[in-house]
Structure 1
């Protein structure tokens, strides 16, 4: 079993290096903008809690499992100028695990008298904890000092920044994640001095935009696009189309693929660009409670060795005190 986990671990490492996307991948990011942009903090203007869990490549030994819990809202008594947020996320890949903790601040600039348009500038600071479970590794040579005993870990500080613009009908965002990776040594030394060649996060850029199209009083469409770039491997692109039915149910699909937008030395020209198709559903159980589910179909050759990916999410809004002078716009993004 340990040998199977070890082999699987290195297979997944090769796959992830080929895809060049090391940040956690959530299909339902469209319902939790804080996961891809710190400037999103406070967008809903009420306290908002979100949780998500993802089980990737079901039936594939050692496959990734990820989760995140976040909360954001407005700073009181600040004329809605400041948004605050926090997020804890974890990602496990075979014997390797990463836990991230970030706090976000967004300065929100009002652009119209009705307060339906704002430009937010956000910063986030935190840290990533990288750990390796040596018990899941098997040494070819007994007593190999490069194989750690037990679980070892290391903590690295990091930062994020972004901008986010929205109106009732469209949004656009640009964020840079894991900024310290641009300057810091990518080597990770664990507590016993062992050098671990693991997947320490690379700096990423996230470009997102989308809109809302009203077809009728009961049907609205939300097309959106997310471009993910780590400047080393192929650019990852998510194309999304969701429909809101009677203000109660979101249904839709997403297509994820890779593209060579410019020449990169680390990218093999013959690398497959196939990705995944996601089917999503988000249901408002109450006015303030959202429950979501998505299922991913892999379109690459890996589809023969696993049973897809499952993701569930929960969103809970805590409305503030009602104010007759407050203009409240629907929050579709």
Structure 2
């Protein structure tokens, strides 16, 4: 048990040493804009999305995160803008930041849209090294705190309609390890590369199926794949499951409270050796569509 606990703590500290790394978001299929700025305006109304994630519940100094996004098309429907805010707390490092997104959308002949986007902002990180428990408490290497800030630039492209989506994004073209003075300023090859895809299939008037997937590739870290399947009943409630390749099984629940308001919850259950050291991760989210004007009684799931 002791060596498993050491591994868990090493994973948490090692992940936060790389400021680029973000906590996984299980509700990616309902908030694609959070991982790809090209989805700005994809719901054709002003959409606000907020979420909270508690990672590895029960583990010492377990990470957590809050995030908020808002995006909308302009009067010129070929242009959409977006805003994202986030705050992540790890055992030692805290990351927070903001970004503004601009997306140019081309309407295709079949009614779908092809979107290209750039998103720019700032990330602020602080490392509280004095929070690290040491065998030698007076070690001067860990006796101080450190702060850093860097610009961020993201790129995304997406193709979507009312019943499918495909997207590719680069998390940060200005990737930099903030706490490494020798780290190059422009190192996109070490950023996260994200590919998403999903489809909405209507089995009947009351039943729909929504398969989706998210691939996260990083040259310096392990590649992770989320494969999800969701069942939607009466366009009001849904339940689903996701398998994540890093040995996690995720349960998804959601409720379309009104045509504008949506609530969602997920529980990530670890299935590997570390399952004995934490009781899983929880995520809750709230989405609201302002100025709802879609000409159908069915809410938009993409």
Scaled by the length of structure 1, the TM-score of the pair is: 0.80
Helix, strand or coil for the counterpart of 1:154?
A: strand
Once the two structures are superposed, the pairs formed by residues 189-204 of structure 1 within 5 Å of their partners are 202-204=190-192
Supply the distance in 1 between the matched residues of 2:8 and 2:272 (Cα, whole angstroms).
Answer: 17
- Aligned counterpart for 2:196 among listed residues 184, 187, 208: 208
Supply the distance in 2 between the matched residues of 1:43 and 1:11 (Cα, whole angstroms).
Answer: 36
Supply the distance in 1 between the matched residues of 2:300 and 2:32 (Cα, whole angstroms).
Answer: 12
Unmatched 5+ stretches in structure 1: 258-273
- Report the CA distance between 1:332 and its aligned residue: 2.0
- Report the CA distance between 1:178 and its aligned residue: 1.3
Structure 1 residue 46 corresponds to structure 2 residue 18: no
Supply the distance in 2 between the matched residues of 1:225 and 1:35 (Cα, whole angstroms).
Answer: 15
Supply the distance in 1 between the matched residues of 2:9 and 2:163 (Cα, whole angstroms).
Answer: 43
Contact 1:295 1:311 in 2 (8 A): yes
Supply the distance in 1 between the matched residues of 2:28 and 2:276 (Cα, whole angstroms).
Answer: 27
- Report the CA distance between 1:285 and its aligned residue: 1.3
Unmatched 5+ stretches in structure 2: none
- Aligned counterpart for 1:131 among listed residues 123, 126, 132: 126
- Report the CA distance between 1:24 and its aligned residue: 2.4
The structure whose Rg is larger is 1
Structure 1 residue 243 corresponds to structure 2 residue 231: yes
1:47-102 CA-partner distances (Å, limit 9, x unpaired): 11101111111110012111201111112x21x11111111112111021111211
Supply the distance in 2 between the matched residues of 1:221 and 1:7 (Cα, whole angstroms).
Answer: 38
- Residues 330 and 58 of structure 1: CA distance in aligned 2, closer, same or farther (over 3 Å): closer
Supply the distance in 1 between the matched residues of 2:158 and 2:137 (Cα, whole angstroms).
Answer: 53
Scaled by the length of structure 2, the TM-score of the pair is: 0.88
Supply the distance in 2 between the matched residues of 1:59 and 1:141 (Cα, whole angstroms).
Answer: 26
Supply the distance in 2 between the matched residues of 1:299 and 1:6 (Cα, whole angstroms).
Answer: 18
Structure 1 residue 331 corresponds to structure 2 residue 294: no
Q: How well do the aligned residues superpose, as a CA RMSD in angstroms?
A: 2.7
Once the two structures are superposed, the pairs formed by residues 1-333 of structure 1 within 5 Å of their partners are 9-14=9-14, 16=15, 22-75=21-74, 77-78=75-76, 80-112=77-109, 116-138=111-133, 140-141=135-136, 143-149=138-144, 151-181=145-175, 184=176, 186-188=177-179, 202-257=190-245, 274-319=246-291, 331-333=300-302
Supply the distance in 1 between the matched residues of 2:7 and 2:200 (Cα, whole angstroms).
Answer: 45
Helix, strand or coil for the counterpart of 1:12?
A: helix
Contact 2:126 2:147 in 1 (8 A): yes
- Report the CA distance between 1:22 and its aligned residue: 2.1
Contact 1:8 1:62 in 2 (8 A): no
- Residues 9 and 195 of structure 1: CA distance in aligned 2, closer, same or farther (over 3 Å): farther
Moved over 4 A (4+): 5-9, 138-143, 326-330
- Report the CA distance between 1:7 and its aligned residue: 9.1
Supply the distance in 2 between the matched residues of 1:148 and 1:35 (Cα, whole angstroms).
Answer: 36
- Report the CA distance between 1:250 and its aligned residue: 1.8
